[in-house]
Structure 1
Amino acid sequence: MKRLMSRLLAAALLLPLLAVPAQPATASTPFRNPLNPGADPTMTYFNGAYHLATTLGDRIGIWSSPTLAGLATVPERTVWRDPDPSRNKQVWAPSIHRFVRPEGPRWYIYYTASDGVDANHRNYVIESEGDDPRGPYHFKARIADDGEYAIDGEPFVHNGTMYFAWSGPGRGMGGPQQLYLRRMTSPWTTTGNRVALPADGGCHEVREGPTGLRGPGRLFLVYSTCDTGKPDYQLWMKSIADGADPLVLSNWRQHPGPVLARNDAAGVFGPGHNGFFRSPDDTQDWIVYHGKTTSVYTYEGRTTRAQPVTWNSDGTPNFGRPLALSATQAPPSGDPWASQEPGATRSYVSAEQRHHFDRAPDGMLTHWWWDPVDRTVRRDVWGGPIAGRPVGYPVGAEQHVFARTPDGRLRHWWWAPGGSVRQEDWGPGLAGDPTGMVTANGQKHVFGRAPDGRLAHWWAEPDGSVHRDTWTGGDVVGNPVAYAFGDEQHVFARGSDNSLRHWFWFPGIANNLPGLDDWGAVGRVHSDPTGFAFGDQQHVFYRTADGSVEHRFFDHGDWALRTDNWGGAVVGSPFAIRQGQTQQVFARGTDGALWRLVWRPGGSVTADRATAGATTDPVALAWRDETHVLARGADGTLVDWHWQPAGGAAPTSWGGQVAP
C-alpha cells in the first residue's frame, strides 16, 4: 500500500484526466477455475465480453460473459448445428478468429468433424454473418483437405501472411500424429503443398492443437503432446523469428521440455489443448486450457481453466504451473465492471442476469431481474421492512443483499441456486445506507455511517462468522462508498465540513488498524461520493455546490492527487462506473433529465442527456457491451435506461413500484 499523505494535497492541481496506465491493479471480481465443464477451449475478448467455446460433440456453442468469473454460470448459446450427416458428428476443438474482409469484419470458427467414423475427421470452417462472435454463422468450407485424417486446425498470421496449422498422421513420412502447415489465401482456403513440421514432445503418440502466440520479435507455436487421456498430456513449443518463412523448416526453433505439464501437488493432470486471449485492456496475455483432477487414464473430467501468461527476460512466454481448482485468481487486467466496482450497489450482473434491489413504497425489499434467455423481467419480495436503499453483490453464483432496518440494524439476505432466500441480523448501529465489497480472501465487508457519525464496519469470514469494529474519525455525513483495490480496502465519505475523507486498510498495516487521510475538497463535497479503482489509479466523484460533478483521482504511478471538473448541472448523488477503459458518471439533472458524463482514453469528457428523467438517484451497470441505468421513473415504476453508444437512452419500465 502506498499511503497518500496529507502533504500531497498542496500539490493537487486542476489538470485533465490522466491516461489510464498500462498495468492495472486487481480491483475486479476474483475467480476460480474451472470456467466450463468442457475440453479443448478457445477464448476471445470482444465488445465488452469474453466468448468461450469448447468441444460439444454434435454442435458448436459459445458462452459469453462480461466477466471471466461469469463464464462459469452463463448459459450456452448454440451457434452451429450442421444438417449434413457427413460432418455433423464427433465435432471437436472449435477455434475462434476474427478477420477483416472487404465486406467487413467477420468471425471464423475452425473445427473438426466426421460422419461418426474417427478416421474420417476433417477440418471445417464456418463464417459469421456480421461482426459478432455469437453469430449467426453459415457453413463456409472444408479446409486443408489431403484426403486423410486431419484435426485441430487453426490459422496464425506471420509476416502479414496467413498460415493454417493442423494435426494429421504420419509425421510426413509414416508414424504417429504430426503437425502440418500450409499457406492460406483467405480465411477458408489454402494453397501449395503442405509442410510437415517436426516437433518434440516427450512421448511418441500425439502432436496436436497447434496455437499461435505473438511475442516480442517472434511467433510461438504452442502444441499438445501425448494422449489427452493420459495424465502426462502437456504443452510444448516451437518458435520462429519475425521475417522468417514458416514453410522453411530450418527457420523454426524447438524449445526444450514442456511449457505446461501436470502439477501433482495442485491436483492438476493432463493440462493441454489450449488457446490464448488478450485481457480486456489489451495489456496481458492469458492462456485457456483443459485439465483433469485425476491421474487415471480417462477422457472424462476435462474442464476449462485459465491463468495469466508472463514474459521472461529472453522474450519467451512463461505459462507457470497449472493452478489448483481451489486457487483464487485476480481476473484479467481491465476485466469489466462487475459487482465490486464501485462496490456494493443496488444493481449488478450475476450469471448474465441483470439484477436490481430497491425499497418499495411499503418498505419491503424488492428484487427485479432480467433474464437474457427469455428476455423478460421478473420480480419478487425478499422481506423487510427496510429503511433507505439496499445494496448487494454476487459472490460466485450466490447473491448477497444488505439493508438498514427502521430501527437501525444491519440486515443480510442471501440466495444460492437451488435454495430459497435466507436472512440474518448483523446487529445494531447503522444510521445510513450500507456499502461494501467482497475481498479476494472471501470476506464480505459492509460499511455504513453509525449514529455518532463514525464509520461502522462489519465483516463475515468464509465460515459465516460475523465480526464488527469501528473505523475511527471522519465525522461522516451521508452514505460512504467502498471498494477493493487489490488486497486493500478503501472507503470514502463526506465529512461534516463537506470534505472528502478516505479510510484505508491493507494486510500488514500498523497494529492492524485502518488509516485515515484527507483528500481535501473542504466545502466542495455536497453529495455522497462514488468511485472505483482502475489501473494504478483511484477515482472518486461527487456533486459540488454549483451542481457540477467534480473528480479527484490518485495515481500510484507518480504519487499525485489531481482534480478536474466534469461539468453538468445535477442534483442528488452521482453514480460512476468503469466499463472497459471508459469511465462514466450518471446523475439526475436539475432540469429533470438524466445526465451521462463520459471519458474515453485519448479524449475529453463529453456529456449527453436522456429527456425522461429519474426521480431517485440512478445506479448503472455494464452488461456485455451495453450500459444500463436504473432508477425510479416519473410513474413510480423501476425504469431501465439502455444507454446508446452515440448518446441518449431508450427507457423500458420494469414495473413494480419504487419508494421515492
Structure 2
Amino acid sequence: MKRLLALVMCLVLLPVSPAQAGSTIRNPLNGSADPTLTYFNGNYYLATTLGNRIGMWRSPTLAGLATAPETTVFRDADVSRNKQVWAPGLYRFDGRWYIYYTASDGVDANHRMYVIESAGDDPMGPYHFKARIADHGEYAIDGEPFVHNGRRYFTWSGPGRGRSGPAQIYLQAMDTPWSTTGARVALPASGGCDEVREGAVSLRGAGRTFLVYSTCDTSKPDYQLWMKSITDGQDPLVPDNWIQHAGPVFWRNDAAGVFGPGHNGFFKSPDGTEDWIVYHGKTTSEYTSAGRTTRAQKFTWNADGTPNFGRPLALADTVVPPSGDPWASQDPGAARGYVVGEEKQYFDRTPEDALGHWWQQPNGTLRHDTWGGSLIAGRPSGFRHGTEQHAFARTPDGRLRHLWWTPGVGVRSEDWGTGLAGDPTGMVSVNGQKHVFGRAPNGTLAHWWQEPDGTVRRDNWGGSLVGTPTAYAFGDEQHVFARGTDNSLRHYYWYPKIPDNLPAVDDWGAVGTVHSDPTGFAFGRQQHVFYRTANGTVEHRFFDHSEWKVYTENWGGNLVGTPFAFRHGPTQHVYGRGVDGALWHLWRQPGTSVQAQNLGGTLTGDPVGIAFRGEQHVFSRSADGSLQTHLGTTVTPWPGGQIAP
C-alpha cells in the first residue's frame, strides 16, 4: 500500500472472489489464448495473446494465476507494430528476460516478429523494445527460440495465410537473443491437414530436442499438436536430421468437451521434478477462435524417451498442483510449519534450546531430527524456496541464525549478525531475496536480507513495537505488520519505487485493541491481518486495493495467546487456543458469515496451520510437551523430541 487514504471502521462481508489455489486446480487459468508460462524464483509467470499489448500474470501458486491481476509490461507507441499483438514467448538468457511476439499495423499480411528485453533479471520487467527479428520481407508469426548443442536457434511460421500451400516452419541460427544470422531453412512438417504449421516450441528430452507445433486452422476443432525431434550432436539446420513423429501427439477430446487444443508451451514444477504443458483449448466444435482459454496439465515420458501428453482434460476435472507448489499455505510469509513437495515440515525449539525439526514423508512416516549445534531462544520461523528449506532463529545473545537444507547437501548454518530481541519472521521476494524481520533491542523493526548471490545486508525500519511481527510479499512489495507499544496495529511497507528507497510506516488504527502478535496473508487484491483483542475475540482488518480502504470486523471467539491465519483456496481460516485449552477453528467462505468450531484436544502453546491438498493440518504443543497435529477433531501425536514451553 503506497498511501492510506481512508480508515473505515465498519463490519462488512468480504467481496466474493473466484477460487484460487487450494488442494486441487481447475482449468482454465486464463481467458485468452497462445500461452507462455514459466516458474522462476518462487512465482509462476504467464503471458497470453491480448491484441494491443503484452501483459503478464504472476502468482506463487499455479491456480492463483486465475485471479492474479494483469500487469501490462509493454505497450508500443509505434503504429506500424502495435496492433494484432499475438503469441508472446517468455525466455531468459544471460540474466535478462526476452519476450518474442508477433505484431502488425492492423493488416494481417503485415505481421512480423519482434522482441523486447528486460532491464534486469525480473520477468515482470520493466521492458524496452529491442528489435525486429528474423525479418525476411514476408509474413512471419509465432517466433520462439530454442537451444540445441549449446547454441541458440529461432523457429517461426511463414510465409502466411491465404497463399498457396500450408504455412511453413522455418529455422535460423541466432547470434544474440534478439537477432538471427545466416540463411533460414524450411523444415517440412506433417500435420494431418493442408493448413497451418505454427507455434513451434522446443522440449528437451534425454539426448534430443523435440519441436512441438500446432497444425490445422486454429478456429477448427481439429487444431492439434504434432512433433519432430533431433538427436544431440546433429545440426538442426539440416532438415533431414529431423525425425517426423507419426500422428498427432495432443488432439481434441470430444468426451471431455475439449476442442482445438494447441499453441502450447512447457514448464517445470517448482521443485523441478515434473513436466507440464500449457495450451489453449475451447469447449465448442464450431468453427470459431472465440472462447479459447489457457489450461495446464502434467505430462509424462514414454519408455522410448518421447513425451506422453495424454489427452486434454475437461474443465470439470481437478488437477493436482505441480510438485512443490505451495497450495497457498502461508502464502507467501514465513511460519514454523510449511509444505515442501509432498512433505509437511515443522520447526520449533526443544527443551535443550536446539532447533527441532519434524516432518512427514509421503508414505505417512513421521520423522524428527535436530538442526545444528547452536542454541536458540524463542520460536524459529522459516519458509521454503524452491527445493530448499530455510529456518531462522534467535540465539540467546540476540544474533540471527540462518539454517537451511538443500537436497544432496544437507543442513548448513550461517550467522546473520546481532540486533535481534524478538522472534524472526520473513518472506522470499519476487527477485529471489530472502527477507527476515524482527524486533530489535530498542523496539524498532530490524531487517535483514540475503541477495541471490548469498550476500547478507541489513537496515532498520524504525517504529516502536512489541512482540513478533508478521511479514509477507504482495507482488513486488514487502509488508510487515506489528503490534505497537500502545497495542495498535502498525504497518511497515516498501516497494521498488518508494521515494528515496526508504521503507514507510502507517497506522491501521486499533489503538488499545491489539493484544496478540498479528497474523495474516495476501489474497488477490487484498491484504489481511488478524489478532486477538483484550476480550479474547478475533479482530480482522483488511485493505482492499480496488477501493483503497481498510475495513475491520470482529470474528468472535474466546481465545488466549496468538491465533494463526491462512487461506485454503478462497476460504480464510483462523486457528487459535481457546480459554478452555482446546483448539478452535474460525473460518469464512466468500459471501458467507463466519463459522466457528471447537475441535477439542489440549494445547499448551499457540497453533500453526498449513494447507496440504484438500486437508488442513494444525501443529501444537500437547500437555506432555510433545508435538501433535490436528486434522479436524483427530489428534495425532508425533514421535521425537519435546517442545520447549
CA distance in 2, matches of 1:482, 1:490: 6
For 1:8, the aligned partner's letter is: A
Q: Aligned-pair distance for 1:275? A: 5.5
The corresponding residue for 1:337 is 328
Q: Aligned-pair distance for 1:379? A: 3.1
CA distance in 2, matches of 1:393, 1:416: 13
Residue-by-residue CA offset, 1:92-117 (whole Å, 9 max, x unaligned): xxxxxxxxxxxxxxxxxxxxxxxxxx
Task: Tell me which of 572, 576, 587 is aligned to 2:576.
Answer: 587
CA distance in 2, matches of 1:413, 1:277: 45
CA distance in 2, matches of 1:533, 1:472: 23
Residues 467-486 of structure 1 aligned to structure 2 (within 5 Å): 467-473=457-463, 475-486=464-475
For 1:14, the aligned partner's letter is: L
Residues 140-155 of structure 1 aligned to structure 2 (within 5 Å): none
The corresponding residue for 2:397 is 407
The corresponding residue for 1:496 is 485
Q: Is the 8 A contact 1:501 1:517 kept in 2?
A: yes
Task: Tell me which of 543, 546, 552 is aligned to 2:535.
Answer: 546
Q: Is the 8 A contact 1:274 1:290 kept in 2?
A: no
CA distance in 2, matches of 1:604, 1:391: 32
1:365 aligns with 2:355: yes
SS at match of 1:14: coil
1:380 aligns with 2:370: yes
For 2:228, the aligned partner's letter is: D
Q: Is the 8 A contact 2:334 2:382 kept in 1?
A: yes
1:16 aligns with 2:13: yes
The corresponding residue for 2:415 is 425
CA 552–207 in structure 1, closer or farther in 2 if over 3 Å, else same:
closer
CA distance in 2, matches of 1:539, 1:490: 11
Task: Tell me which of 269, 285, 309 is aligned to 2:294.
Answer: 285
Task: Tell me which of 373, 380, 384 is aligned to 1:390.
Answer: 380
Residues 453-602 of structure 1 aligned to structure 2 (within 5 Å): 453-473=443-463, 475-602=464-591
Q: Tell me the number of residue pairs that the alignment of Structure 1 and Structure 2 aligns.
A: 436
Q: Which shifted more, 220-229 or 511-520?
A: 220-229
Residue-by-residue CA offset, 1:485-520 (whole Å, 9 max, x unaligned): 111100000001111000111111110001111111
Residue-by-residue CA offset, 1:3-56 (whole Å, 9 max, x unaligned): 241x411x33222233236899x9xxx934999xxxxxxxxxxxxxxxxxxxxx
SS at match of 2:500: helix
CA distance in 2, matches of 1:624, 1:417: 23
Residue-by-residue CA offset, 1:214-256 (whole Å, 9 max, x unaligned): x9xx88654223424487999999999x9xx99xxxxx9x99x
1:441 aligns with 2:438: no
Q: Is the 8 A contact 2:199 2:264 kept in 1?
A: no
Residue-by-residue CA offset, 1:406-462 (whole Å, 9 max, x unaligned): 111101111111123111110110010000001121100000000111000000001
The corresponding residue for 2:118 is none
The corresponding residue for 1:3 is 2
CA 238–448 in structure 1, closer or farther in 2 if over 3 Å, else same:
closer
For 1:508, the aligned partner's letter is: K
SS at match of 2:410: coil
CA 527–222 in structure 1, closer or farther in 2 if over 3 Å, else same:
farther
CA distance in 2, matches of 1:273, 1:222: 16
Residue-by-residue CA offset, 1:278-312 (whole Å, 9 max, x unaligned): 9xxxx9834458899xxxxxx969799xxxxxxxx
CA distance in 1, matches of 2:624, 2:565: 25
CA distance in 2, matches of 1:383, 1:581: 41
1:632 aligns with 2:640: no
User: What TM-score does the superposition give when structure 2 sets the normalisation length?
Assistant: 0.59
Q: Aligned-pair distance for 1:655? A: 3.9
Q: Structure 1 regions of 5+ residues with no counterpart?
A: 36-65, 70-174, 180-196, 247-251, 264-270, 293-298, 305-329
The corresponding residue for 2:112 is none
Q: Is the 8 A contact 1:335 1:580 kept in 2?
A: no
Q: Aligned-pair distance for 1:274? A: 5.8
CA distance in 2, matches of 1:394, 1:589: 30
CA 377–228 in structure 1, closer or farther in 2 if over 3 Å, else same:
same
SS at match of 2:543: strand
The corresponding residue for 2:82 is none
User: What TM-score does the superposition give when structure 1 sets the normalisation length?
Assistant: 0.58
CA distance in 2, matches of 1:507, 1:413: 28
Residue-by-residue CA offset, 1:387-416 (whole Å, 9 max, x unaligned): 100001111111111000011110111111
SS at match of 1:657: coil
Q: Aligned-pair distance for 1:352? A: 1.0
Q: Is the 8 A contact 2:340 2:384 kept in 1?
A: yes
CA distance in 1, matches of 2:601, 2:350: 21
Q: Is the 8 A contact 2:620 2:627 kept in 1?
A: yes
Q: Is the 8 A contact 1:388 1:433 kept in 2?
A: yes
The corresponding residue for 2:67 is none
CA distance in 2, matches of 1:407, 1:454: 18
1:653 aligns with 2:642: no
Residues 312-351 of structure 1 aligned to structure 2 (within 5 Å): 336-341=327-332, 343-351=333-341
Q: Percent identity?
A: 48
CA 347–34 in structure 1, closer or farther in 2 if over 3 Å, else same:
closer
CA distance in 2, matches of 1:408, 1:208: 56
Q: Structure 2 regions of 5+ residues with no counterpart?
A: 22-28, 30-37, 44-59, 64-187, 201-209, 237-241, 268-274, 283-291, 310-320
